[in-house]
Chain A
Amino acid sequence: MSLLLPMKKEEYLSSSKELLNQSPDLVQKVFNHEGQLIIVQFIHYQINKDQLEDELLEIITKSNRPWTNEALLNKIPIASTKQENKMDAIIEQMIHGSVCIYIEGEKEATLFALPNQEHRSLNQAETESLVFGPQVSFTESLMTNLNVIRWRLDTSDLVTEKLIVGERIKSEIRIVYLKSLADTENVDTIRQRISDLKVPEVEDTSVLGQLIEDSSSTVFPQLIFTELPDRFCQAIVKGRVGVMVDKSPTMLIGPMNLFSFFESTEDLYMRWNMGSFIRLLRFISMALSIILTPMYVAALTFHYEIIPSTLLVSLGQSRSTVPFPPVLEALLLEMLIELLREAGARLPTKVGQTMGIVGGIVLGQAAVEAGFTSNILIIIIALSALASFTAPSYLMGTAVRIIRFPMILLAGAWGIIGIVFALSFLVIHLLKQKSLGRPYLSPIYPLQWGDFNESIFRVPFQKNAERSKSLMTKDRSRYNESKAAERNDVDRL
């Protein structure tokens, strides 16, 4: 049972203190104004003190008439106000940065929001870096992020729905989409899944993503997390749905398919042929990254015949001193690379460079000279590690590196049959995945030739007049294709 106003001054002050667990940060100030007792309460670091003094206290004290709640609302130039009579609600508002003014005897207290939050300003993106294109990244403050998005997508069509999640610690969550474009079913799915959540708290967007994604048993991410406003906005404009969580600098986008994890915003900024080339390069490098090491293991363990004879000689020479079977050799080196990556990620950047030299050059060279591994395996492992880092989505790159380990084991046990089995399993596994209920292998199955334009290749903008079919956008056509190619140059006359 919550305490209700009106109360006497002493009772009010003590119950406020009680509800805030005797917090030393609670400031309680009592003014005796024209015979009234006006009580001002706030948590001092949560509010903007300049504003408090200039726009609130000064007006209250300088007036020579008695104050009423009505007068407070009318006379004080602060837009965000509220009136409450429950003590619980009053305390909660104060925690969020409100100043509470209570005139003794009144039935309600008046709250003025003057929040003062400490947060960093917009910075350059660090985890997803671009060679060219916008460099700004999101920050931890939801308001700043919303501001950035509103500025990029300045249309009234943009919807930012508000949801509150968390039973113990509440987080504000925003669902962002274009009303005239995004599929209603997608939006409903996201809204439903978020509002169904019964969790004590949502730590971060990536946690929310894991809570609402379709399958938690797979290594493959089903939703994209990004810190780039331009990537987020591109997805929204394509008809996808975005989710923002307060206090998190990463945003979430869905529904996704496997191929969209290999799209970078840069593909759009570059010329179409460069963009297509680089995107194709990423697909190839993923395939190589998965296949190369297992193939080496399979070929050297069982199928010497498939290696060309000229290569076989040098391979045999460099492997002649290696005492282990190829599986063990490959697993050892793969582990080494994973260790290097993990250590590099944990260390500060200055030490990280030394790490690279020690790990990469010294260890690699020494391992070969000590007869620990063959030269060729070092090349192969380095190549496949490098290839796995080309994925624009860090989670996808990690997934690719993880599935390599069971494949190496299978290749070591049953050669090329093991590899094909693992690949088949992988394909069926991907086929079964969904992202927000939409098929994960989208343009390939269900087959949508038109969507290859955007997800596999990057065709010139003039040719890309239709939106992706698999996103089920409300408006299919982007523009009139014949008009887009039209050009009225001055010197044609």
Chain B
Amino acid sequence: MKTNIPFHPDRAVQAFYLFFIIHTSQIGAGLMGVPRILVLEAGVDAWISVLIAGLYLHLVVFIMLQILKSYENADILGIQQDLFGVWIGKTLGTVYVLYIFLLLLTVIKNYIEVVQVFVFPEMPIWLMALFLLSLMVYSILGGFRVVVGTSVIFFFLTIWLVFTIYKPITYMDWEHFLPVFRTPAPDLLKGVQQVTFSVLGLEILFFVYPFIQDKKRAALPAHAGVFFTTFLILLVTVVSIGYFSPDQLKAIVWATLSLFKIISFSVLERFDFIAVALWMMVIIPNIVLFGWMIVHSLKRLFNAPKKPTLYGLAFLLFFTSITAEKRVALNELTNWTGEIGFWIVFVYPFLIYMMILLKKLMKKRNAS
């Protein structure tokens, strides 16, 4: 495996698509339940945690871009191999693949759970998995550009859901936020960690970077994507705390979706049915982008042929998603994934960056 990927203009996309890629891979299953887990940790000051997490996200994006800029046209797999040698590099790459697989599984399982709770209690899991996975396979078969297109179009198809939040806003009670600044710092930081669990997917930047056409302009859309993610989480958290009371919120698993319950139009009552179904369109870019990452990485690491890998991946996901049945297992899976993801996505880049700096220093010393 070469460190750098040869650049093909035919397979590349423009830099501003990074906004959609990063944003849509971050927003997904996490957003549905983030207010509750935040309030459990940080209480009514949860919004401060979101702000801190937002700043931290920008820092991580900055470090990621610094890492990527120090190479010509490389992705994380190539960089790891360059830094740690072939074997360790490939092992670390495999860890990445396994982690993304877990993430993908978590997203699918969580959404199926939501559909069963909100719309169809009797919807068979295998059928939902089949729906989601067939869409994933169909999109990834179209190649990288179709994958990016999926994220762009589904972003536009679902972003209007944000505007329906005006209704809960009108019912908000600002007293729920009082007293401010009472949460101790450790709890706030725990809240920050909870936020990062919900915005995993940022690592996609490490994988798509070689396919960006004008790399000099990559920073702005990447930061904008992260900013918009933070904004949405902040909005949802603040509205949920204001709309439900903090105690009530602790009992609502999918607070974001529950916000849709009071929205109704003259031709449409119970908008939450539609919203939950439409949430599939929020999930699809997630699944497609993560699936692409796995297929692409396996091709890079082990030269695995893409189509059979894709079918194998879909089959494996199908199999694993129909086996684990209970809500408890799902919670464990989600926590696990979050835990692993936190270290891989939000801590590990700093390590790599330090390694790169060290390597540069060594080179300079050797040269002089």
Q: Residues of A at under 8 Å CB distance from B?
A: 302-303, 305-309, 311, 414-417, 419-421, 423-425, 427-429, 431-432, 439, 441, 444-447
Contacts and interface: CB of A to CB of B under 8 A. Distances in A.
A425 to B, nearest CB: 6
Contacts of A446: 13-14, 149
A417 B146 contact: no
A424 B135 contact: yes
12 contacts: A303-B119, A305-B269, A305-B273, A308-B264, A416-B274, A417-B115, A417-B277, A427-B154, A428-B139, A431-B139, A431-B146, A441-B153
Q: Top 8 A-B pairs ranked by shortest CB distance?
A: A445-B149, A416-B277, A305-B270, A432-B142, A420-B277, A431-B149, A421-B131, A428-B139
A395 to B, nearest CB: 23
B225 to A, nearest CB: 15
> Which of A302, A305, A308, A428 has the most B CB atoms < 10 Å from its CB?
A428
B123 interface: yes
B142 A306 contact: no
A302 B134 CA distance: 24
B39 interface: no
Interface stretch (B58-66, B75-83, B166-174, B278-286): B278-286
Nearest to A312: B269
Contacts, number: 92
A300 to B, nearest CB: 13
Given A427-B153, A431-B150, A441-B153, A417 B120 contact: yes
B12 to A, nearest CB: 11
A447 B152 CA distance: 9
A427 B157 contact: yes
Contacts of B123: 414, 417
Contact of A416 (B119, B128, B269): B119
B284 A424 contact: yes
B18 to A, nearest CB: 13
A417 B153 contact: no
Contacts of B271: 306
A431 B274 contact: no
B55 interface: no
> Which of B123, B131, B134, B266 has the most A CB atoms < 10 Å from its CB?
B131
B266 A417 contact: no
B59 to A, nearest CB: 29
B180 interface: no
Contacts of A423: 281
Contacts of B328: none
A307 B269 CA distance: 6
Interface in B232-285: 264, 266-271, 273-274, 277-278, 280-281, 284
Contacts of A420: 277-278, 280-281
A302 to B, nearest CB: 7
A308 B264 CA distance: 9
A416 B135 CA distance: 16
A417 B134 CA distance: 14
Given A417-B123, A424-B280, A306 B157 contact: no
Nearest to A303: B273
Interface in B287-323: none
Contacts of B153: 427, 431, 441, 444-445
A72 B284 CA distance: 76
B348 interface: no
B306 to A, nearest CB: 16
Given A303-B119, A416-B277, A423-B281, 7 more contacts: A308-B266, A417-B120, A420-B278, A425-B134, A425-B135, A427-B153, A431-B146
B127 interface: yes
A432 B123 CA distance: 29
A431 B142 contact: yes
A404 to B, nearest CB: 18
B120 A415 contact: yes
A240 B128 CA distance: 43
Given A415-B120, A417-B280, A428 B274 contact: no
Nearest to B271: A306
A305 B278 CA distance: 17
Contacts of B266: 308
A417 B274 CA distance: 9
Contact of A306 (B115, B148, B270): B270
A406 to B, nearest CB: 14
A419 B152 contact: no
A307 B16 CA distance: 41
Given A306-B274, A441-B153, A444-B153, A421 B135 contact: yes
B156 interface: yes
B138 interface: yes
Contacts of A416: 119, 273-274, 277
A13 B134 CA distance: 70
A306 B149 contact: no
A445 B120 contact: no
Interface in B1-60: 13-14, 16-17
A352 B6 CA distance: 63
Nearest to B280: A420
A421 B269 contact: no
A444 B134 CA distance: 24
Given A421-B280, A424-B284, A306 B156 contact: no
A306 B269 contact: yes
A425 B131 CA distance: 9
A426 to B, nearest CB: 11
B149 A414 contact: no
A468 B22 CA distance: 28
A420 B157 CA distance: 11
Contacts of B148: 445
Nearest to B132: A421
Contacts of A439: 149
B157 to A, nearest CB: 7
B277 A419 contact: yes
A439 B16 CA distance: 18
A432 B146 contact: yes
Given A415-B120, A445-B153, A306 B138 contact: no
A425 B138 contact: yes
A444 B156 contact: yes
A428 B269 contact: no
A306 B271 CA distance: 7
Contacts of B156: 444
A390 to B, nearest CB: 21
